[in-house]
Structure formats: structure tokens, C-alpha cells
Structure 1
Amino acid sequence: MIKFCLKHLAAPVACIGLLASTLSAPLAQAADLKIGLAAEPTAMDPHYHLFTPNISLANQIYEPLVMKNPDFSMHPGLAESYRAINPTTWEFKLRKNVKFHDGTAFDANDVLFTFCRVPTVQNSPSPFTLYTKAIKEMEAPDPYTVIIKTTEPYPLLPNELATIGIISDSLIDGEKVHFSDAGCKITHKWPATEEFNSGKAAIGTGPFKFGQFTKGDRIVLKRNDAYWGKKPAWDQVIMRPITNPGSRVAALLSGDVDFIERPTTQDIPRIKADPRFKIEGAVSTRTVFLVMDQSSDKAPPGVKTADGKNPFKDVRVRKALSMAIDRRAIVDRIMGGFAKPAQQLMSKEFFGTDTSLPVLATDVAQARKLLAEAGYPDGFEMTLATPNDRYINDSQVAQAVAQMFTKIGIKTGVDAMTASTFLSRRAKHEFGIYLFGWGAQTGEMSSPLRGLVATVNKTKGWGSSNYGKFSDATIDSTLDKAMETVDDNKRRALMAEVSKRSMELMAVIPLHYEVTPWAMKASLNYKARADEFTKAEDVTPK
């Protein structure tokens, strides 16, 4: 029996393990599972895009060292145990007798190769370096031990490693890798994203193998019968991107698919009333918010002011926009109760939030007053960009917000588009203000604070999705201190302090927290996840 020490994200402990008796289980009756996806992954490359659909898919093919349970507690992955040797040094003991899908053996060199490869990924819309930049040194004293050193104490390291899928060094013919935080040197070429999309490089250790990736049509996964853990119930999983929510529900009701993500809130009562189907749901780490371009003194794209200046540079304007929004009305009337009105960038039940903050207030009169004080008594004009197929009722929420802005004198139109188009245009900084969402992959507050609010810093990997270019030195320095604080209570307090200040400055404007639903045939079981992942291996016959 292997020693087992449970690790929870809010209180790290020294080691984790797994009962040897759970490493295998009899297969269920062979069958196919058909899933309707609400958003299409942008690549099969596990390191290309820090985007929930991508990570959810990747985790089924490429496994991390440490894995997350639905409630964000941690369990063993390719590391069967780990411990903190000192505040800046971690030791990971790797699982033995694990094979990649191509039959090659997993060992420490695969881990070093993976972490060396992450910073080399080209054209990443949101890079994984957010979760690897803290690593100063990495070495393998033997084939099944990895030592990771950070410059400063970094208590969240194991949590963050749960986002990094391990790939095979067979992609570089087994070349031995020496890690360097300045950039690793290898004689081979780093595998490109296109090689993962074609399947050539899609070699992991997970419960499923690559079958097919056809953008706009389907993703096919094949069961890995040589998997080291519990075998999935399904011979084959066919994932179809059905981004129109009505079409997705129709596909379930007609039997075209067995399981769907995010049914429309309007259709949930009908699904619940049909004995052939059922709904599972959970409060997620997903926050939907607005980002304002604060990068220039000139009015950003889609914003028209009388003086030609950027209104979002003024905190009074940002606060006025927030006060114009009736979050409770959005939750009740548009989200059908499948959301919670926001106070900050994560719901209060998660680690590092400020539990004293109230729901952000609606005050139209005060909003108009703040606009006048900022020099915009007659308001201005702008276009609010939004995806229309990424989040629950996203374009409807944007339309409602636009109407609320118009009531305070800011004439607002909406530009809604598919998520793929949105991401491409956002990367080119074509939006002055836009609606988007963030799912905290670590299950705690530092994730959105570092990704969305911290000043862009490529060395640290911070601000990876801070397209508004918000910056505040106090936030950065306090967040720095929090990320080096090992004591959980002190770290929690520091992050809460940063969260409070980010709301005082209205760095971004939170709208609501999604309560994520899944709908499925009544013959299936699935435990709803706070991280919003759809993991086919966890869908089981009833």
C-alpha cells in the first residue's frame, strides 16, 4: 500500500499517493459516448492555449503530475507523491510502469522536456507560462524523481502543475534534456502545435488516445487499454462542437448525443421534466466580466468621445459602468438562476477571496454623477464586443449590459461573434471594451488576479490575459508577497487585500459567477465539477 496524504488547495501538505488496489478496475460494457461541446477547443496541443475547453480536452490525453478532484482537492497523477524539502524546493516521486500511447516508458526526462517546451509554443493566445514562470531550476537525480526549485517560496506550485499535461520525449527521439529557466537547448526542433492537431505529436499517458481532430466537426478519442489507472467505460468518445445552445439541447433530446455541456437555462425545466434525461450542476470558478482597454490616452477601438480621449483611464468612469449594471436582474432574468451576482473575481467560497465584500451595487444616479465629474456629463458612445457561443447566454448578457449603459448616457452597441473570431480579434486588440470569462484553474484567487489584473510581466508570466493593460504597483507588490507566503492564513489575507483593491480601482468589471449545468441521458452519471471540465472518463453508465 502506498502512503496517502490528501492535499487541499488551501492547505498544502507534504505528500500524496494512491492505494495500489485502485490502479485497475474491470471495464464496463464497451460502447461509444457522444458529447455535445458548448465551446470548441482551439488545439490538441496541451500547452497552446490556457483556455478551459483546451485544458479539459488535454487532460484526457496528456496527464499532469498532480490532478484535481471536482471540488479542487488534489489527487495523484503522474507523480505518486511529492513533498516540500524546504520552502523553495519540491521533490516529486514519479509513478513507475506507466507507458505513453506509443508504448514508450514514462520517466523524469519526459517531465523536463514538457516544462522546457511550454515557453516555446508559438502564437499562444494565453500562454501556460503563467504557471511555469516561478520555476528556477528543475533536475532529475534519477529516472523517477524530479526536483523543482523556485526563486522564492511558492506554496501553490503543486496546484499549478495540475494544468500542465506531460508529453513524450519520443517527439525528440528521447534526447536528454537539461532544464534552464532562460530557455532549454535541444538539438531537435520543438514540436509545433500543428503536429498535435494532426495527431503526430499527440502522445500522452492518459485514459484516451488521439483519434481525430477536425475543426468545426468533431474530436474523436479512443480508449487507452494500456492505461495505468482505471479504464474508461467507453471504447470511443465522439465530441462534437455544437456552439449554438438551442441546437445542442435539440441534439440531446433527439438522441444525436448522449451528454451536453451548458444547456440553455430556458430549456433546463423541460429537460428536468423528461424522465429520459437529467441535469447536474455546480457553482464554478468561472467569472464573467468586462475588460476595458486602458492602454492608451486616446479613445480605444469602438469608443467615441467628444475629446477623443480614453474614458476608461479614469477610475470614476470604470466605477460608473459597474454601478450601471443590475447584476441581480441579469442572474434572475437572463441566467435563470444559474449564476450568482459578483462581488469580486471569484465567488466567496473559494480560497483568497474577500468574504466581506457585498454584491457590487447598482446606482444609476451615482453613475451619472461620476460620469459628469470625469468630464462626460453627456456620456459617450461605444461598442461592447462579446462571444456568442462561449458562456451561458453570453450575447444576451452583453445586450442587457449595453441597455444598462445606455440608461446612464453611454450609448452602447453590441458586436457579438463566435468565440474563435472573438479570440482572433482580441489578440489584435480590436476591442475597446469586451465581455469574457475566466475559470481559475488553481481554484483560488491568485489565478484571476495574476492573469487579468497584474501588470503584464513576461518574466513572471503575469498579466497573460490582461488585454486592458490595467496596472497598479500596490496590487503587484501585494500579490508578489502573497505568492511567496507559505502560511495559508497570511496568504489568504494578502490575496483578499488585493481582491478588495482591484474592486476599488475596478480593474475589470465582474458580472456574475456561472453555475455550470450538464445535461445527460438518465442512464449516465457525472459529478459536476467546479472547474467546468467535461471529462469523458468520469462519465459512467448508471
Structure 2
Amino acid sequence: MKNKISKSISILLVLFLMVISFAGCNGSKDTGAIGDDKKQDEKKVTYLYVHATNTLNPHLKASGNIPIRTGAVETLVRIDEDLKLKPWLLEKWNSKDAKHWEFKVRKGIKFHNGTSLDANIIKANIEACIKNNPGIKNALNIESMEAKEDILKIVTKKPNASLPSEFVHPNTAIIDVNASDIDTKPCGTGAFKVENFKPNSSIQLVKNDKYWDGEVKVDKVNFEFNQDANARLQALQSGYADIIFKPAAESIETLKKDSKVTIDTMPGLRTNELLYNIKKPLTGNEYFRKGLDSLINRKEIVENIMSAQATIAYGPFMEGLPFSIDYKKNQFGLDKALENFKKAGLTVTDGKVLDNSKPIKLKVVTYASRAELPPIAQLVQSNAKKIGIEMDISIVEGENVDNHLKSDDWDFCVYSLLTAPRGDAGYYLNSSIKPEGSLNHGYINDDKLTAIINEFNSCIDETKRNELAKQATTIINKKNYNSYVAYPNVIVAYNNQRISNWKTSPSEFYMITKDLDVK
């Protein structure tokens, strides 16, 4: 009798579990299964990004701006869709002389661990950033800080009208600096919390139920790194990924034919360039740089290599911005290149360029995480070979390129960088052109340029600042300190059957947001 009862109970239990399983497969939300309803209702998104990082400490350059892109951390100031500065964790700021500043902290904001945001924590963040990030230290140029409740006072060593915009930079994101595991689980104020981090692989994020700026729509985000554009494309097409950043340009037309995929493409604030090492005897010569510039077929690069997902560039800033100039259109052609190489003091024999009767061989560096860069290098290499100049191309990991350039064992680098991520010229001029700039890998040191940039930094009037930026850009282009090649579009592809409220950011800073949703 006991065995019969046990057998009957077992059969009933199996039948019950089968019913639950069947109901679950049909997506019913009224099955009565313990704990299953919540899991079925969870909104999850898988996002594939390009560049990897081994740290999530936003203050470190090595973080690659990833923390802010995940929606886990936020900055004091942000840039809106119209490239205008907007207070974020701040309420407002003011200064009468661009040297003495007062910042008012927004009230009612808490970190993921419940700690309240105040001026003292912000001061501690800025101090940590200055200690760990030389580029930010140089940009902020702070003499002293004083914090009390919700007011932070800052005095800069020199007038710096760009100071509020410096706080747009993702490396200045605010975290609880007293929390543990800053490198793997930074405790920010953002819409999402870091649940798990596998360095150089993936980040698992969960929604911040107590987010200060409204309801967060998505419950979980799987943020993965993959530098292979084809792999990202296959992940989207197979349904593994919901959103991919920067699909290969040549795949755009194919994706457009897929009704389930939306391609969101827009002009960005990035510039692809040839970054010259001014320390080297050849690339330190203005006319040699102009000769190399004449080997760049910009039209072919934009139309073929970048599949028309870019605009031809002749300067650091896209034309139409208030601080951009009307660029002289550099002439492409072997004859023009030879003319410039002669002006550089080189000899040309039978259409071949020689330096002291010896062939020229240049070391070129680039990286593949931006898929168009190696082909650009190869195109320049092919054109140079026609006039006897050899180029040895080294391809390094994208996240390691800046460190590689410190070695000085290179002549030029095919490089890509954000030139106007804050909506003005200040970021590029200070980081890439001033001698102490964190991205001045080419060692540009031009006294006249530096003087103009210093005046730009101390100037409060926007019209005058734009005029000074134009003066600086004119010199940069006249000297051909870099060769600007293309302004790539920001391209994102996503599954429109699942994803809603995706917004592509021209600055590339804001990706996973509170408004991102699943249908």
C-alpha cells in the first residue's frame, strides 16, 4: 500500500512538473510556478562593443571610457544631442574670471551602496583622478579645492574657461572612492550596477532600482567585448546579440535588407588621421609630411574602404562646427608628392625618392579594432611603394596603441580619436596639440600654437574662443602636423523586433541608458 501511494505521488509530481514546463515554454505569466514568473518577465539585453578593458576604474585611462558606456557611472557634466553642456550630477556652476569656480551638487543622489553624493566625495574623486591620470591632471590644472555640503569651490592655476567641459570626460566619472573593488565593481550613481566583470571579456549589469533620474526599463545587460567586426555581425544575425556597435561598413547594405535589423548611422565627433612622429628626422620635416599627405587618396578611402560611411577630412574638426575652418583641399597624386619630397631636401631619381642616395623605409603603426585603419595604412603603403618608399606596418591591439607609441620606434600611426566630444575645440587642442597633452603622441611643440591655446583656455567669450580655435587649426593644417583623412560615422545595428528607445550618441559616451527598453 505504501509503495502504491509513493508511486502515485511520484507520477503526480512528474505530471505537475511537465505542466509547469509546458506552460513556461508557452510564455504564460500565470502558471503559478514559484520564482519563475519574475525570471520570465526580466528584460535582458546583450550588447557587443569593440574595445576591451581590464579595469572598470573610471579614473584610469586604461578603462577606455567603458564604465560610462555601461551606464554604471556618471559625470558632473554631460553633453547633449546638440553638443551643448548640461549639468548631470551637478545642478549648476559659475565663475567670474575662469579661475575661481563654484559648483553646486545636485541633491538627493545616492550611490549604488546607498551612500549620498556630496561635495566632499566629488572632491575625493577629483583628487584620485589627478593622482592616477596625468592627462586629467594637466587638463584640470587645479591649484586648490574646498568642499562643504553641496558646494565645491575650485581654484585653477591659470584661467580655464573650459573647466566645466573637462568634467564631461569619462575619466572624471564619480564613484564612491571608499568602496571596495573599484577596479571590478565601481560603485557609481548610474542606472545600472556592475554585477560581474570578466576582464577583457564581458560585464554583467543589473538595473539600479533606486536610480535618481527615473525608472530604468531594462533589468539586465550583458555587455561584451569583441574586436572582430564579422563576429559581431554574426552575433546579431544569429540572435545572440541584440545590439552591436560599429558593424563592418561593408556589411551595411546587407543589413539594410534585413527587416528585423535597424541601422542607426550618424556623423560622429571622431577623426581618422595619420599621426606623425615629429621627433623623427623625416616626419619632423614639414614638407616630408606634406609629401606623405599627397599619397592619401581620401576619396578611395571614404568610398571603398569605409563604404561611404564617412566624410572626407582635411582638418581635425568636421566642417560646419562653429570652431572649424574652410579647409584647403589637399591634392592627391604622385607628382604632388614628389614635388613636396624635393622641397624636403630629398633627391628624386627616375621617379624614386632617396635620402642621401639611400632608399627610405618607414615604420607605420596601426590597430585593427577600428577595421578601416589597417586598409588605410596599406593604401598609403601601396602608393608610397610606387615612388620607392617602403613602409613596414605593425598592427597592435587597440587598447595598447597609446602605450606602443611611447616607444618612439615609429614614424607615423594611422590613428582614430574623438576630436570634439565636448562640443568645442578645447579637448583636442589641449590633449593632442599642447606639448604636455596626454594624446600628443607625435611630440608637437609649437610656441605660437601653445600661446594661442593658452589664450583660448583663459577666454570666456564663446565667439572669441571659436576664433582662437580657428587660428590654431589654421596653423596645424599649414604645418601639416597631422594628416586628417576621414570623419567616420557612428554606426550601430540592433534587432528592432526586441529593442526600443536606443539612441546613438555622436560623442560615443552614452550607450546603455535608463530609457533603453525591450519590446
TM-score range, shorter chain: 0.7 to 0.9
**Would the alpha carbon gap of residues 516 and 51 (structure 1) be closer, same or farther in structure 2, given more than 3 Å must change?**
farther
Change (3 A) 1:321 1:465: same
Distance 1:80 1:344, change over 3 A: same
Instruction: Tell me which residue corresponds to 2:77.
Output: 66
Deviation track 1:291-320 (CA, whole Å, cap 9, x = no partner) reads 222225xxxxxxxxxxxxx21121110111
How many percent identity over aligned positions? 23
The offset of 1:374, in angstroms, is 2.0
Q: Distance in 2 between matches of 1:36 and 1:243?
A: 9
TM-superposed CA distance for 1:534, in Å, is 4.8
Partner of 2:20: none
- Map residues 67-466 of structure 1 onto 2, 5 A cutoff: 67-121=78-132, 127-133=135-141, 135-140=142-147, 142-163=148-169, 164-171=172-179, 195-199=181-185, 202-296=186-280, 310-354=281-325, 356-377=326-347, 378-379=353-354, 380-389=360-369, 391-439=370-418, 440-456=420-436, 463-466=437-440
Q: CA deviation at 1:350?
A: 2.8
Deviation of the 1:73 alpha carbon: 1.9
Q: What amino acid does structure 2 have at the position aligned with 1:514?
A: P
SS in 2 for 1:146: strand
Query: Match of 2:76, as an amino acid?
Result: L
Q: 1:455 to 1:87 in 2, by over 3 A?
A: closer
Q: Which residue of 2 is the match for residue 38 of structure 1?
A: 50
The aligned counterpart of 1:501 is 475
Structure 1 pair 429–55 and aligned structure 2 pair: CA distance change class (3 A): farther
Q: Note if contact 1:153-1:486 (Cα within 8 Å) is conserved in structure 2.
A: no
* Matched length: 463
**Aligned equivalents of 1:213 and 1:397: distance in 2?**
34
Question: Could you tell me how far 1:515 is from its partner in structure 2?
Answer: 0.8
Which has a greater percent of helix? 2
Q: Partner of 1:311: helix, strand, or coil? A: coil
State the one-letter code of the partner of 1:319. K
State the Cα RMSD in Å.
Answer: 2.1
Between structure 1 and structure 2, the one with the greater Rg is: 2
**What is the CA-CA distance between 1:237 and the residue it aligns to?**
1.0
| Whole-angstrom CA distance in 1 between matches of 2:206 and 2:99 | 40
Question: What is the alpha-carbon distance in structure 2 between the residues aligned to residue 437 and residue 169 of structure 1?
Answer: 31
Q: What is the deviation of 1:231?
A: 2.9
**CA shift at 1:206, angstroms?**
1.1
Query: Contact 2:94–2:101 at 8 Å: present in 1 too?
Result: yes
SS in structure 1 opposite 2:259? Answer: coil
Deviating beyond 6 angstroms after TM superposition, the runs of 4 or more aligned structure 1 residues are none
Q: Measure how far apart 1:148 and its partner are.
A: 2.1
1:43 CA displacement: 2.4
| Distance in 1 between residues matched to 2:431 and 2:62, nearest whole Å | 10
Residues 1:474 and 2:474 aligned together: no
- What is the letter of the counterpart of residue 459 of structure 2? T
Q: Which residue identity does 1:358 align to in structure 2?
A: K
Contact 1:155 1:485 survives alignment (8 Å): yes
CA contact (8 A) 2:67 2:73 kept: no
Specify the code of the residue in structure 1 equivalent to 2:60. Answer: Y
CA shift at 1:167, angstroms?
Answer: 2.0
Q: Which amino acid aligns with 2:166?
A: E
Give structure 2 stretches of 5+ with no counterpart: 1-40, 348-352, 355-359
Match of 1:540 in 2: 517
TM-score (norm 1): 0.81
Matches within 5 A, 1:16-35: 30-35=42-47
Please say which of residues 85-94 and 341-350 is displaced more in the overlay.
85-94
Letter aligned with residue 424 of structure 2: E
Work out whether residues 70 and 528 of structure 1, in 8 Å CA contact, stay in contact via their aligned partners in 2.
Answer: no
2:79, 2:423 within 8 Å by CA — same for their partners in 1? no
TM-score, length-scaled by structure 2: 0.84
Per-residue CA deviation, residues 222-247 of structure 1 (Å, 9 max, x unaligned), is 21111101232211111111111011
- What SS does structure 1 have at the residue aligned with 2:269? strand
The 8 Å contact of residues 55 and 184 in structure 2, kept in 1 or not, is answered as no
Cα–Cα, structure 1 residues 86 and 473, in superposed 2: closer, same or farther, change >3 Å? closer
The gaps in structure 1 that reach 5 residues or longer are 1-28, 172-190, 297-309, 457-462
In structure 2, what is the Cα distance between the partners aligned to 1:284 and 1:224?
29
How many angstroms does 1:51 deviate by?
7.3
C-alpha distance in structure 1 between counterparts of 2:233 and 2:383, whole Å: 30
Q: CA–CA distance in 2 between the matches of 1:505 and 1:426? A: 21
